[in-house]
Amino acid sequence: GQEEILGIADAPDTCALQEAGAVLAAGGTVAFPTETVYGLGADARSTAAVEQIFAAKGRPSDNPLIVHIADPAQLQELVTGVNDTERRLMAQFWPGPLTLVLPVKPGAVSPRVTAGLDTVAVRMPDHPAALALIRASGCPLAAPSANRSGRPSPTLAAHVLEDLSGAIDGVLDGGPAGVGVESTVVQAAPDGAVTVLRPGGITEEQLAGIAASVRRDPALAHAGGTDSPAPRSPGMKYTHYAPQGALCVVTGRTAAAVSARIQAELDAARTRGEKTGVLSFDEHIGFYRADVAVSLGSLAAPEEAARRLYAGLRQFDEAGAAFLLAETCPEEGLGAAVMNRLLKAAGHHIIDADA
């Protein structure tokens, strides 16, 4: 494909949207902004269209896709039923960064979308351009994050082009994505028990306001080795969001111990001739000497850290940093999603500063 940048600064430009909608209706691929990250969309009902997503991303075929809808009525065409808990979650959080795994209606979407599972993941994005594009296309849109598989997810149209230029049919530019990390993926039982398969834009604290109980899929706590339990969200087993350098997360009982250990490791790496990077927060960033120092904002503002995380990881790649260390943030609110992505980016490699 010879992709076009269909610019829409803030308000969705009707002309660009109609054009992008027509490309999707004809079986093409268009990247578009959502409130979480940019997605790469295609008609979820068409296997030929969906195969272009897998090809462009280099995505493993056993990793199913999220289907994006703009209207509650579209759900009836996709799933066999919705239980009470699911209904309440949708009423509270749609449109928004919550994805529900629901029983798929046979034949409703391409089997490439569900990767052969009997469920389909569905969400209604909270972004005017995304909603307008879904309506303009007339399709339920399968849309994974619009990055090359294994790269940090795109939070700007420029990130999409960095990864997918030449491999897709168009990009709708809507400026920076809002939340910065992907949607929360959940499965909900009729009795109100909610299982988080992937932490994301809707926090566990928010879910607890609706659910009788909230638990994390036990597979989330593991590094994804052969001894780990199989995750219910197949995508969680892949090393996603990996920067090109080797990344480790540094933990410890005190911030001073963590900072001292990080600087010692950075100094040692520099002595070995490696280009170094550190991912930190405003409270500590001034402490470090590294080739690339990225702050995710204040430790007290996890929403800011979520917004900055993926662009920050891309900065290390741009600078060619080979040895990367990251601090942790509290796993409260969006901090849980930030730490989940950071640990995945590090392949769960952790240095304990107290050891």
Q: Closest approach of Cβ 57 to Mg ion, in Å?
A: 8
- Looking at beta carbons only, is 149 or 251 nearer to ligand TXA? 149
295 is in an annotated binding site: no
Residue nearest to Mg ion (CB): 145
Q: Distance of CA 306 to CAs 1, 107, 199, Å?
A: 32, 36, 12
Torsion of CA 65, 66, 68, 73, to 10 degrees: 110
Residue of 335, 331, 281 whose CA lies nearest to 303:
335
Among Mg ion, ligand TXA, none, the one that 333 touches (CB under a kind-dependent 5 to 8 A) is none
328 is in an annotated binding site: no
Q: How far apart are CA 72 and CA 93, in angstroms?
A: 13
Asked whether the beta carbons of 104 and 80 are under 8 A apart, the reply is yes
Asked whether the beta carbons of 317 and 243 are under 8 A apart, the reply is yes
Residue nearest to ligand TXA (CB): 235
**Contact range with Mg ion by CB under 5 A, out of 40-48, 142-150, 169-177, 297-305:** 142-150
Q: How far apart are CA 201 and CA 14, in angstroms?
A: 28
**Contact range with Mg ion by CB under 5 A, out of 3-11, 77-85, 139-147, 340-348:** 139-147
- Looking at beta carbons only, is 284 or 344 nearer to ligand TXA? 344
Q: Closest approach of Cβ 108 to ligand TXA, in Å?
A: 13
307 is in an annotated binding site: no
Contact positions toward ligand TXA, by CB under 6 A? 34, 36-37, 39, 63-66, 97, 99, 101, 114, 117, 119-121, 125, 143-145, 182-183, 185, 197-198, 232-236
Strands (E), 8-90: 30-32, 39-43, 66-68
Amino acid occupying residue 29: T
Residue with tokens 């933990």: 251
- Looking at beta carbons only, is 29 or 145 nearer to Mg ion? 145
87 is in an annotated binding site: no
14 is in an annotated binding site: no
* Binding-site annotation, residues for L-threonine: 36, 63, 68, 123, 143, 183
Kindly list the residues in this chain that would bind Mg ion in the complex (CB under 5 A).
Answer: 145
